[in-house]
Amino acid sequence: MISDQSAAYPVSGTQQHYDGAVVAVRTDEVVLPDGTPVRRDVVEHPGSVSVIAVDDQERVLLLQQYRHPASRLLWEPPAGLLDEPGEPPLETAARELLEEAGLRAERWTVLVDAFTSPGMSDEATRVYLAQGVCEVPDEERPPREHEELDMPVRWISIDEGVDGILAGRLHNPLAIMGILAVAQVRARGWSDVRPAETPWPERPAGGVKG
C-alpha cells in the first residue's frame, strides 16, 4: 500500500513578497538532500472545503459560478475557504451548503483529501459527501453576495458528471475529484468513505489569515 509521507527539507532563507486578504506569497531557499540550494515560490492559503451533495435519486448538485482568473463560468460543488476563526472544517462545509444551495444534510462523510496545486501552493482541500439532503426555506438562508448572487443550480446524475469530466466539459478540480470519487463509492455499495470527523493533518499550518 502506497501513501504520501510528511517531509520538510531545510529552509535557509525566506523572502515575503505579498500578504493579501486571502493568500500570501513568499520565496523559500530550500536545501535539497544533496546540499543544493533551490528557490521555491509558495502561495500560502487558508485551505478549503467542498460538498458533493447527493439526493435520493443519486444526483449531484452543481452550481455555476464565475471564476475571474480562469475567465470561465464553471460548474462546481458548493465550496468555501477555511477563513472563519475556530470553525471546524465540517461546520464550514455545512455552512457553505446552506449559504450557496439552501440545503442541509443528515449524513456527512469524507470523500477526498487533496492538495490543489502542491507545486506552488500549500492549499489543502477536503471534499465531503453529504447525503439525506433537504431544502431549507428561503427565510432561513443567509443572504448571498458578489459571485454567489443568482448562481444557476443543477442536479445531474453521477454518470452525467463522469461523462462531462471525461469529455472535457467540466473543469473545476473539486467537481472532478468529488464526482469521480462518489462514482467509485457508489460502485462499491456506498462503502469506503471515512467518518466526517477524520483528522486532517494536511490542512495548511498557517490557518486563518488575520
Q: What pLDDT digit, counting tens, does each position of 1-21 carry?
A: 999 999 999 999 999 999 998
Look up cell 443572504; give the residue.
Answer: 143
Q: Report pTM.
A: 0.92
What pLDDT, on the 0 to 100 scale, is given for residue 210? Answer: 45
Looking at per-residue confidence, does 30 or 204 come out higher? 30
d(CA 48, CA 41): 20
Instruction: Please name the helix (run of DSSP H) or strand (run of DSSP E) that holds residue 64, with its range, or none.
Output: strand 59-67
Give per-residue pLDDT as tens, 107-149.
999 999 999 999 999 999 999 999 999 999 887 777 766 666 6
What pLDDT, on the 0 to 100 scale, is given for residue 26? Answer: 97
Alpha carbon distances (Å) from 24 to 12, 29, 44, 45, 79:
19, 17, 5, 7, 20
Alpha carbon distances (Å) from 129 to 4, 35, 41, 106, 150:
23, 44, 33, 11, 24
For the chain, residues classed under CATH 3.90.79.10 are 48-195
- For the 48-195 domain, the top CATH level (class) is alpha beta
Cell numbers at residue 181, please?
470519487
Choose, from 29, 99, 148, 160, the residue flagged as catalytic. Answer: 148
Active site residue 140: no
Q: What percent of the chain has pLDDT over 90?
A: 85
